[in-house]
Amino acid sequence: MDLPVSVALPIQAHATAANAVAFVLIGALLACGLLIYLYQARNKARARAATRQQLEADLERRTKELAEVDRQFAVERSATEQQLRLLLRELTHRSKNLLTVIQAIARQTARQTATVDEFLDRFGARLHGIGVSHDLLVADDWQGASLRMLVEQQLEAYADASSEQVSIDGEDVVLKPEAVQNLGMALHELTANAETYGALSRPEGSVHVSWLVCDDENTLKLSWQETGGPEVKKASRSGFGRAVIENIVSQALSGQATLIFAPQGVRCDIVIPDSHISSRG
Domain boundary (55, 88, 121) is at 88
pLDDT in tens, the chain (281 residues): 554 545 455 556 666 777 777 777 787 788 788 788 888 888 888 888 888 888 888 888 888 888 888 888 888 888 888 988 887 887 788 788 888 888 888 888 888 888 999 999 988 999 999 999 999 998 988 889 999 999 999 998 776 655 789 999 999 999 999 999 999 999 999 999 999 999 999 999 999 999 999 988 899 999 999 999 999 987 766 778 888 888 877 788 999 999 999 999 999 999 999 999 998 86
Residues 161-205: tens digit of each pLDDT = 557 899 999 999 999 999 999 999 999 999 999 999 999 999 999
Are 200 and 254 contained in the same domain? yes
Q: Is residue 141 part of a domain?
A: yes
Q: Is residue 207 part of a domain?
A: yes
Structural domain including 185 reads: 112-280
Rounded distance between C-alpha atoms, residue 166 and residue 208, angstroms: 6
* Residue 88 phi, psi (nearest 5): -65, -40
8 Å CB contact between 271 and 219: yes
What's this model's pTM, rounded to 2 decimal places? 0.70
Measuring CA to CA, which residue among 176, 200, 191, 187 is closest to residue 254?
Answer: 176
| Element of type H or E holding 249 | none
* DSSP annotation string for 51-87: HHHHHHHHHHHHHHHHHHHHHHHHHHHHHHHHHHHHH
**Cα–Cα distance between 241 and 186 in angstroms, integer?**
8
Cβ-Cβ contacts under 8 Å for 140 (sequence gap 6 or more)? none
Q: Per residue in 27-53, pLDDT tens? A: 778 878 878 888 888 888 888 888 888
Residue 65 CA to residue 92 CA, distance in Å, equals 40
Residue 30 lies in a domain: yes
Domain count, the chain: 2
Looking at residue 32, its amino acid is C
Strands 166-169 and 206-214: what pairing?
A: parallel
Give Cα separations from 68 to 56, 60, 75, 82 (angstroms): 18, 12, 10, 21
Rounded Cα–Cα distance for residues 267 and 209 (Å): 10
Residues, the chain, total?
A: 281
Q: Are residues 121 and 204 in the same domain?
A: yes
Distance CA 226, CA 268 (A): 9
- Three-state SS at 168: strand
Q: Is residue 66 located within the same domain as residue 140?
A: no
Structural domain includes residue 59 = yes
